[in-house]
Amino acid sequence: MIFASRTRRGRDRYLYPKMAALVVGAVLVLWGSSSGLSWPVWAGIAALAVAFAMRFLPGGSRRSEDDTENHGEETR
C-alpha cells in the first residue's frame, strides 16, 4: 500500500520544463496518430521519455528551510 506524505516538498525547479515536455510529447503523439505519420509519434514518445527522466534529476524538489527546521513538529 502506498501512503502519501503530507509534508511539503518545496519548489520543484524542473516543474515547468517537465510540464512543457509532457505537453509537447502529448501533442506530437496525438498529431501523429491522427495524421497517420509515424515520426511525430516517435518524437512524442521521446519527449515523454525525457519528461519522465527529468523526474529523477537530483535537486528536483527541495525542502524549504522551515520544513527542515521543524522536522517532526507540528506547526499551527
More confident residue, 63 or 7: 7
Q: Is the pTM of this model over 0.85?
A: no
4-61 residue pLDDT tens: 777 766 777 888 999 999 999 999 999 999 999 999 999 999 999 999 999 888 765 5
> In terms of residues, how long is the chain?
76
For 4, the grid coordinates are 502519501
Identity of the amino acid at 58: P
